[in-house]
Amino acid sequence: MASNASSSTGTSPSFVMAAKYPYPSNVNVANFVHKNYLLWKTQMLGLIESQDMMGFIEGQISIPTFTIEIVENGAARTVPNPEFLAWKKSDRLLRGWITGSLSEEVLGLVVGLQTSSEIF
């Protein structure tokens, strides 16, 4: 029987992922317009840094693979990667913070960008 390091310490895998990819829930940042970029950037970086999410913006937290292969009863199958799902949830939250703080004028410039890093 395989041993799982998480279960041997009493920590569930979902708790480990939640700690790795945090899910803060609120943000209050002035809308970015072309005239207040430095103020907006200062506020956003303060928020992002306070939640230990700079790695999403700066690239230290890379995108995990979308799927993984597992073997059960000698048969391999592809399943969604829980690391990717956790990463996506946090990145989408961060992307929402950023886009939610943009004025309509600036928001038009980021339409179609997918990740928080691309938008920032």
pLDDT on residue 25: 55
Measured between alpha carbons, how far is 99 from 96 in angstroms, rounded to an integer? 5
Exposure of 70 in the CB half-sphere (CA atoms within 13 A): 7
Q: Which pTM was predicted?
A: 0.71
Q: What is the pLDDT of residues 86-102, one digit of tens each?
A: 999 999 999 999 998 88
